[in-house]
């Protein structure tokens, strides 16, 4: 029985890139696979500066977002990383199967340390080991993530292999599942849309429509369109990429024709995108409002998820302890 596993950090507001690159795949896969686990990676947040007072609220918002987008607690476990202590326990074990040189090569470590040179801690360096523990604890076969996480999943495979080689066959090597939009770009049209690196470059999925339009107005378009009358190439424009996710064939044809002949301006194109995004997201927004008005729902879902996740996690740790030759815990 194949297990699907993935997670998201409660490091900011869920954005269009998270949805198009990962979460919509979680929802699709939960329909196809019998065993699905999704979690909120709160321990990973510690690797970067954050506000502890705001963290519980962020977790709660993220749970509501995920439920609104279609994660169904009857089909999938949804839980909080820090509620299942075996994640950190296995991370220590796996750090003895992870190569130092491999960790040094992680581009996310390099990017985050360059972005925040004041804050290069050992947790940021060993972050992918904790991520490997998250995945291997549930012996996941399939990990739906965006492009930026592929390197971490490849490392997870190497860690699994190294563990199996040293202590005996225990962990399957997980595969990555990507969507057709694994790397949505942010405001400057160059760096990936992100909430943890810089949430000013992201389009929050549940932002007020006025805010969304304002943010979209600042988004870079094809640099060839310096003047309104300059024609452009939609295939190199991030706005068109987003159109492809939410607009009809007729609108895509309208953009292509209008952009390449300068028949429409970038403002027209963005206005249509904003309208289409709002239509596309309307159902999620309504569902989210209903969920947010249901008292206790976040705690109930997380508690139920954690109880079930702990059963799987403790069974894996029992097996791991045995393989390691540790004294049986009672
Ligand atoms: P962020 O980088 O915005 O803080 P996370 O690291 O919590 O987001 O990522 C949650 C999931 O969303 C991961 O699977 C990640 O690969 C995916 N993801 C993040 N940003 C993007 C993006 N711009 N395009 C596609 N997928 C993304
Ligand atoms: N590192 C992932 C991210 O930033 C979040 C994450 C932590 C994760 N553990 C995971 C994703 C395990 C998939 C599987 O997006």
Q: What is the pLDDT of residues 135-190, one digit of tens each?
A: 999 999 999 999 999 999 999 999 999 999 999 999 999 999 999 999 999 999 99
Q: Are residues 125 and 231 in the same domain?
A: no
Q: Are residues 92 and 240 in the same domain?
A: no
* pLDDT given at position 201: 80
Closest residue to atom 15 of ligand 1, CA basis: 146
In a domain, 172, yes or no: yes
- Rounding to the nearest 10 degrees, give the CA dihedral for residues 95, 99, 101, 107: -60
* pLDDT given at position 33: 96
Residue 275 CA, chain-centre distance (Å), reads 25
In a domain, 157, yes or no: yes
Q: Is residue 146 lining ligand 1, measured as CB closer than 6 Å? A: yes
Q: Are residues 312 and 175 in the same domain?
A: yes
Give the chain's mean pLDDT.
96
* pLDDT given at position 270: 97
Closest residue to atom 11 of ligand 2, CA basis: 7
Q: Are residues 150 and 28 in the same domain?
A: yes
Q: Are residues 279 and 156 in the same domain?
A: no
Q: Is residue 205 lining ligand 2, measured as CB closer than 6 Å? A: no
Q: Find the farthest-apart pair of alpha carbons in the chain and give their distance in angstroms, rounded.
A: 75
**Closest-lying ligand 2 atom to the alpha carbon of residue 22:** 15
In a domain, 281, yes or no: yes
Q: 42 is written with which tokens?
A: 């709160």
Range of the domain at 254: 199-290
pLDDT cut 90: percent of the chain above it: 95
d(CA 36, CA 167): 27
In a domain, 267, yes or no: yes
Per the listing, tokens 């949804």 go with 78
Q: For 3-29, how does the pLDDT look when each residue is reduced to its tens digit (9 = 90+)? A: 999 999 999 999 999 999 999 999 999
Active-site residue flag, 195: yes
Q: 106 is written with which tokens?
A: 């992680």
Active-site residue flag, 183: no
Q: Are residues 99 and 143 in the same domain?
A: yes
In a domain, 37, yes or no: yes
Q: What distance in angstroms lies between residue 26's CA and the mean position of ligand 1's atoms? A: 13
Q: For 229-249, how does the pLDDT look when each residue is reduced to its tens digit (9 = 90+)? A: 999 999 999 999 999 999 999
Q: Is residue 177 lining ligand 1, measured as CB closer than 6 Å? A: no
* pLDDT given at position 166: 98
Confidence of residue 328 (pLDDT cuts 50, 70, 90): confident
For residue 90, the tally of other CB atoms under 10 A from its CB is 24
* pLDDT given at position 116: 87
Q: What distance in angstroms lies between residue 149's CA and the mean position of ligand 1's atoms? A: 8
**Closest-lying ligand 2 atom to the alpha carbon of residue 148:** 15
* pLDDT given at position 255: 97
Task: Name the 3-class secondary structure at 38.
Answer: strand
Q: For 202-215, how does the pLDDT look when each residue is reduced to its tens digit (9 = 90+)? A: 999 999 999 999 99
Which of 22, 63, 189 to mutate for ligand 1's pocket (most ligand atoms within 8 Å of CB)?
Answer: 22
Whether the model clears a pTM of 0.75, i.e. scores above it, the answer is yes
Confidence of residue 198 (pLDDT cuts 50, 70, 90): low
**177 contact partners, CB below 8 Å, separation of at least 6:** 4, 25, 29, 142, 143, 144, 145
* Beta strand 76-80 pairing with 35-40: parallel
Q: Are residues 111 and 171 in the same domain?
A: yes
* pLDDT given at position 115: 87
pLDDT at 103 over 80: yes
Confidence of residue 1 (pLDDT cuts 50, 70, 90): confident
Q: Are residues 12 and 134 in the same domain?
A: yes
Q: For 295-324, how does the pLDDT look when each residue is reduced to its tens digit (9 = 90+)? A: 999 999 999 999 999 999 999 999 999 999
- State the catalytic residue, choosing from 2, 110, 112, 214: 112
pLDDT at 291 over 90: yes
Q: Are residues 141 and 245 in the same domain?
A: no
For residue 146, the tally of other CB atoms under 10 A from its CB is 23
Q: What distance in angstroms lies between residue 132's CA and the mean position of ligand 2's atoms? A: 9
In a domain, 301, yes or no: yes
In a domain, 147, yes or no: yes
- CATH code (residue 45): 3.40.50.620
- CATH code (residue 248): 1.10.240.10
Please, are residues 259 and 238 in contact by the beta-carbon 8 Å criterion?
no
In a domain, 107, yes or no: yes
Confidence of residue 197 (pLDDT cuts 50, 70, 90): low
* pLDDT given at position 199: 58
Q: Are residues 97 and 238 in the same domain?
A: no
Q: What is the mean pLDDT of residues 262-281?
A: 97
Tally of structural domains, the chain: 2
Active-site residue flag, 112: yes
Q: Are residues 137 and 231 in the same domain?
A: no
Q: Are residues 279 and 155 in the same domain?
A: no
């Amino acid at each position: 029985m194949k297990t699907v596993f993935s997670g998201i950090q409660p490091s900011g507001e869920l954005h269009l890139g998270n949805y198009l690159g990962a979460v919509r795949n979680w929802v699709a896969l939960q329909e196809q696979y019998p065993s699905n686990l999704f979690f909120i990676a709160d321990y990973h947040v510690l690797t970067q500066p954050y506000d502890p007072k705001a963290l519980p609220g962020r977790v709660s918002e993220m749970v509501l977002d995920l439920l609104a987008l279609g994660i169904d607690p009857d089909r999938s476990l949804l839980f909080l990383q820090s509620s299942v202590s075996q994640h950190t326990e296995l991370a220590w074990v796996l750090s003895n199967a992870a190569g130092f040189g491999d960790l040094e090569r992680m581009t996310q470590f390099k990017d985050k340390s360059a972005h925040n040179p004041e804050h290069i801690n050992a947790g940021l360096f060993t972050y992918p080991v904790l991520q490997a523990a998250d995945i291997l604890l549930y012996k996941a076969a399939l990990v739906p993530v965006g492009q930026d996480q592929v390197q971490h999943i490849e490392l997870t495979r190497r860690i699994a292999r190294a563990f199996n080689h040293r202590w005996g066959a225990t962990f399957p090597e997980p595969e990555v599942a990507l969507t057709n939009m694994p790397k949505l770009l942010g405001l400057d049209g160059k760096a990936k849309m992100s909430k943890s690196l810089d949430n000013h470059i992201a389009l929050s999925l549940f932002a007020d429509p006025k805010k969304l339009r304002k943010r979209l107005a600042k988004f870079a378009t094809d640099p060839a369109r310096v003047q309104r009358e300059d024609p452009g190439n939609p295939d190199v424009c991030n706005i068109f990429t987003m159109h492809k996710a939410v607009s009809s064939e007729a609108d895509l044809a309208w953009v292509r024709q209008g952009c390449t002949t300068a028949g429409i301006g970038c403002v027209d194109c963005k206005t249509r995108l904003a309208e289409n995004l709002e239509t596309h997201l309307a159902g999620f927004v309504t569902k989210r409002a209903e969920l947010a008005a249901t008292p206790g729902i976040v705690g109930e879902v997380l508690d139920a998820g954690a109880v079930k996740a702990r059963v799987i996690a403790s069974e894996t740790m029992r097996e791991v302890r045995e393989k390691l030759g540790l004294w049986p815990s009672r």
